[in-house]
Amino acid sequence: MKKPVVGVIGNAHRVENRFAVQMVGERNLRAVAEVAGALPLMFAAAPGVTDIGALLDVVDGIVLTGARANVHPTRFNAEPHPSHEPYDIARDDVALSVTAACVERGVPLFGICRGLQEMNVAFGGSLHPEIRELPGRMNHRMPRLETGEIHPDHRVIFADRHDVALVPGGAFATLLGCETIRVNSLHGQGILEPGKRVVVEGTAEDGTIEAIRIADAPGFALGVQWHAEYDPQRNPVNRKLFQAFGAALTAYQRQRKG
């Protein structure tokens, strides 16, 4: 049987501040190829380019990646502010529609960082643009030097920084075989209120929502706030997540062909 095909969402970017491009981090592609055992296929987060129905007729699963841009506040009835930019409104349009369509069709869906946030908003949830500003919350953003510059060492940036407590007997605890994991942390925006079908499966020690699933989804529909794509080749937690996603892809592929 042929490898499953996974659609990996792109992000708007400008080369030399002139040329509009769609961009995907290579670690996402390698995680899909090397751990999930599938063929990654980048698709444009641009409504005028990507026909969602046609896309889901071709792929066996979708990955909603992390991204620099925040989900636009108007998507969850909040006011935008310049300090919370940049935004990627075109990606909002595609990602929220893709999320709903995947869950309806049973197409395996894996949301990472911004992808988790998109899943929440797609089902009516809200976000806080800077989760560290809430009382009692820690700084979940990537480490910086004393000068304010982003730390130059990826091993420091993506190091495990805090624990996540998983719901006993939940989908994540069952999949991972434990109730506490340790994860990296590189986000400013986070879930404020979960959407109607969003089930919270894991939280950090400060109460930040770190793992979710979509209730009554006919297929794999999980999201994580941390960057699971960074090291699934060697990190046992992230490896199990991508392997489970890969198994769901194969099952969906067989179901479609059957």
Catalytically active residues are 113, 227, 229
Please state, in angstroms and rounded to a whole number, the distance separating the CA atoms of residues 121 and 143.
Answer: 27
From the centroid of its chain, how far is CA 228?
Answer: 9
Is residue 148 within 8 A of residue 99, CB to CB? The reply is no
Pairing of strands 180-183, 5-9: unpaired
Tracing tokens 């479609």 back to the chain, one arrives at: 256
Is residue 98 within 8 A of residue 62, CB to CB? The reply is yes
Greatest CA span in the chain, whole angstroms?
Answer: 58
Pull the structure tokens for residue 109.
Answer: 């869906």
Please state, in angstroms and rounded to a whole number, the distance separating the CA atoms of residues 35 and 29.
Answer: 10
Residue 223 three-state SS: strand
Amino acid at 47: P
